[in-house]
Amino acid sequence: MTQVLEIAGLVKTFGGLMATDHVSLTVNAGEIHALIGPNGAGKSTLINQICGELAPNAGQIHLAGRDITRLPPAERVALGLGRTFQITSLLDDMTVRENLGLAVQAREGGNFRIFDRAAKRAEVWDEVAASLDASALGPRADVPVADLAHGEKKQLELMMALAQRPRLLLLDEPMAGLGHVESQQMIEALRAVRKDCAILLVEHDMEAVFALADRISVLVYGQIIAAGTADEIRANPAVREAYLGEEDS
Ligand code: ADP
Ligand code: MG
């Protein structure tokens, strides 16, 4: 099986706090790997080291076989690391279609040679139209982003991240703030993504995690205390005590 992401012995300290305590995990091609754990467990700290926003104290991160541990964020993106644009980076006055067009152009580098510029532009808009047609946002293509519901903005963020054609997508709580129907739509959208790109999913919504994850790793106080399939994680006594148990009480 092809490993898209391999993290080995990663350590990140903040003063005396070990926020990432020798974490190792892998994400395989075609896989959704969920990372769960209580608040403050170190999930976002881990994601930020994979993106390159935080430098680890020790350990390695490989993306598709390349050591990216010390690479700046933009070089990681060029090697196929995707993450969602934040809602704040959407351009409110522009339509869904126009925002998506910008994301596709960003992938193409924007510097088309003069003589094939018109042809390239047409390709960009064809690609945008095709991805909109295949998505729940299709009927909203020409609506300004300012008029979208929160869940629609989250869908657009996902589509803009996918426009980069990443091999691995990092998602930090994509269900946050979504209602039930919007969550179901996001679950469907993520299911459809899996065949094109692997996902490392940080998520509190356990219904979504159990619906989507091929494997789950459980992070508590910076350490992976368990990893396995959804059934294995549900049945794991240490996980129930440290984490899932708190959901019942
Ligand atoms: P999670 O995303 O699982 O809720 P975080 O990764 O945000 O957890 O935080 C893990 C721990 O690291 C927490 O104790 C948090 O207070 C601490 N922490 C996170 N970022 C910083 C920072 N920039 N400086 C100091 N401490 C931090
Ligand atoms: Mg977090």
Q: Hunting for tokens 């305590």 — which residue is that?
A: 21
Is the CA virtual torsion 229, 231, 232, 236 positive or negative?
Answer: positive
Which of 34-43, 105-114, 206-215, 236-245 is least confident?
A: 105-114
Domains of the chain and any CATH numbers: 1-80+166-249 (3.40.50.300), 88-164 (no CATH)
Cβ of 47 below 6 Å from ligand 1: no
Which pLDDT band, with edges at 50, 70 and 90, does 108 fall under?
Answer: confident
Q: Whose CA is nearest to atom 15 of ligand 1?
A: 40
Which pLDDT band, with edges at 50, 70 and 90, does 86 fall under?
Answer: low
**128-153 residue pLDDT tens:** 999 999 888 999 999 999 999 999 99
Phi/psi region, residue 230 (left: phi>0; alpha: psi -120 to 50; beta: rest), is alpha
What are the C-alpha distances in Å from 66 to residues 6, 89, 226? 10, 29, 26
Which pLDDT band, with edges at 50, 70 and 90, does 249 fall under?
Answer: very low
Residue among 13, 17, 23 whose CB has most ligand 1 atoms within 8 A, to mutate:
17
Q: What is the pLDDT of residue 84?
A: 76
Q: Is the pLDDT of residue 233 over 60?
A: yes
Ligand lying nearest the CA atom of residue 171: 2
Which pLDDT band, with edges at 50, 70 and 90, does 107 fall under?
Answer: confident
Full-prediction pTM beyond 0.85? yes
- 169: buried, middle or exposed (CB in 10 Å: 19+, 13-18, 0-12)? buried
Question: Which residues are found with C-beta within 5 Å of the ion, ligand 2?
Answer: 43-44
Closest CA relative to residue 171, chosen from 184, 183, 157: 157
Query: How much is the average pLDDT of 191-220?
Result: 93
Higher pLDDT, 196 or 139: 139
Ligand lying nearest the CA atom of residue 43: 1
Q: What is the pLDDT of residue 89?
A: 74
Distance CA(155)–CA(55), nearest Å, equals: 30
Q: Is the pLDDT of residue 110 over 90?
A: no
Q: What is the pLDDT of residue 120?
A: 80
Cβ of 45 below 6 Å from ligand 1: yes
Cβ of 163 below 6 Å from ligand 1: no
Ligand lying nearest the CA atom of residue 45: 1
Q: Is the pLDDT of residue 248 over 50?
A: no
Which ligand 1 atom is nearest residue 172's CA?
A: 2
Cβ of 44 below 6 Å from ligand 1: yes
Which of 1-15, 81-95, 100-114, 188-202 is least confident?
A: 100-114
